[in-house]
Structure 1
Amino acid sequence: METGLYIVATPIGNFGDMTSRAVDVLQGVDLVAAEDTRHSQRLLQHFAIDSRLTAYHDYSDERAQQRIAEVLEGGGSVALISDAGTPLISDPGYRLVREMQARGFRVYPVPGPCAAIAALSVCGLPTDRFRFEGFLPARAGARDNRLQALASETATLVFYEAPHRIAVTLAAMAAAFGGDREAVLAREITKTFETIKRDTLQGLGEFVNADANQQKGEIVLIVAGMPAEELKLDASTAGLLQRLAGELPAKRAAALVAEYTGLRKKVLYDYLLSVKGD
């Protein structure tokens, strides 16, 4: 096993999704750094992996990083895993990666399951452009502000959400994006009670409120982007914007027209992206 830090994806529910390379790496490293050692111990036992286990999570201090660095400095190898899926995708780890790279150590990706990508693959919405937002803020005001900022985004939006907040979040999304915006609820992916349901935001809200079981487990929400035709600009503004974009970077053109017209810069920039996409 080459010296370095291995970022290892693990199953999001079904142990059958574990890759053979992931098993080999976890069996071969000198130390496995896990978000929750009690949770990860079950995974390691299932695959008869007896590598030493230590905790590493968002609240780990510099001593935890130093323990990992000492293994690498001694010529050993370390694997980082999260509770499920691909580490660093709304999971801890980027500070560790940056620190080990800064110390001159190689960081190796060992790809595999990821809830966001799995949900995108079955959502039935456009995936040529998508924007991963992770978890929305828990506080209502901050959450609503974030959603308002995303209201004119034309790319498909991907969110993670906690089960106890799913009903409130769907209502907030309907208020910010419109209740008729298409969306997908992907819940408990690869597990026994997997749910993949596409409907409007209003329809999904009604579905979740009518069935308490849909307010349990791991949840990915995918929301269609604003249709390009809704980014309405009058002919003169659209013409000016496109002429400037022919001479300047799109963001600069959008900023200048926003200053001149009072329209939101993001709406103008998204319009240019939609025209370019056409």
Structure 2
Amino acid sequence: MDIPAPGRLVLAATPIGNTEDASAHLRRLLEEADVVAAEDTRRLRALAARLGVVIGGRVVSHHEHNEASSSAELLAVVAGGGTVVVVTDAGMPAVSDPGFRVVTAAVAAGLPVTAAPGPSAVLTALALSGLPTDRFCFEGFPPRKPGERLRALELLADERRTMIFFEAPHRLDDTLAAMSSAFGADRPAAVCRELTKTYEEIRRGGLAELHAWALADQVRGEIVVVVGGASGAVELSTADLVAEVLSRADAGERLKDAVADVAAAAGVPKRDLYAAALAAKSR
């Protein structure tokens, strides 16, 4: 018996706000695919209606809670020669959204995987932030618990690349406060809200300034926070300064007191040196 040639798994980007950003490739895939796996099937059908597209194949649910179990079903379709399109509510699948597990499984099974590229909240926010774009990293959502969030951000205090975060609007003010503490009040940043939508807004400034704005305004909508990387002033002698701080702490001095003395003597920001010392101590 002849074994059918495998089909393909396609990650298809959907608009992050403006429906007009949908590509012709996405439209064709929705019309022709054997199966469309959607994070939210109701949102998919609403998008198709706005696009004037009739979904030609079977629509199945594929989200973070069932991704592990539904991946096998999707890959069976691909193995049998069918085309499976994976879409999320907005943007590119597998980037802080469902898709990673099924791609990993497809790669392990030797099945074809491709993409229909398109809108990305990460890259759109980076481009609009006004911050350096030559080197950057995506950190996703910060931890929800205050202590865990601050510790996670402190570990990034010396990151030289521009950093991109997602955040829920009701946690934005707390996250900006934690970022101000971990990175410094004057660290340049941008809060990008409702990208490509009618009420798109980009707020740029120091972290303390943005925190004050978030406290004063009732910020709503989809949020991306872009933060400039460390300037490197501390990194010129970080190893020596941190070694001195940890040596004094090992001798019984309070870490904060040791940081304050060493930072004052070296003429470097106390906050940055403290974050570097914490990072070194945790390694």
Shorter-chain TM-score: which interval?
0.7 to 0.9
Aligned residues: 239
Match in the other structure for 1:106: 112
SS of the equivalent of 1:91 reads coil
1:13-162 mapped onto 2 (5 Å cutoff):
13-47=17-51, 48-51=53-56, 52-60=58-66, 62-162=68-168
SS of the equivalent of 1:150 reads coil
Match in the other structure for 2:272: none
Any unmatched runs of 5+ in structure 2?
Answer: 1-5, 242-275
* Deviation at residue 209 of structure 1 after TM alignment: 1.4
Q: Does 1:184 align with 2:190?
A: yes
Give the counterpart letter for 1:45 in structure 2. Answer: A
Task: Note if contact 1:8-1:110 (Cα within 8 Å) is conserved in structure 2.
Answer: yes
* Deviation at residue 159 of structure 1 after TM alignment: 0.2
* Deviation at residue 264 of structure 1 after TM alignment: 5.5
Name segments (4+ residues, structure 1) moved above 4 Å: 263-267
Any unmatched runs of 5+ in structure 1?
Answer: 239-262, 268-278
Note closer, same or farther for the CA distance 1:91–1:61 as it changes in structure 2 (3 Å cut). Answer: closer
Deviations 1:142-173, CA, capped at 9 Å, x for gaps: 11111010011111110000111001101111
1:245-260 mapped onto 2 (5 Å cutoff):
none
Deviations 1:77-126, CA, capped at 9 Å, x for gaps: 10001110011111111111111222221001111000010011111111
Distance of 1:180 and 1:69 partners within structure 2: 49
Q: Does 1:228 align with 2:232?
A: yes
Q: TM-score, normalised by structure 2?
A: 0.80
Give the counterpart letter for 1:49 in structure 2. Answer: V
* Deviation at residue 199 of structure 1 after TM alignment: 0.6
- Percentage of identical aligned residues: 41
Task: Note if contact 1:32-1:54 (Cα within 8 Å) is conserved in structure 2.
Answer: yes
* Deviation at residue 222 of structure 1 after TM alignment: 0.4
Task: Note if contact 2:67-2:98 (Cα within 8 Å) is conserved in structure 1.
Answer: no
Give the counterpart letter for 1:134 in structure 2. Answer: G
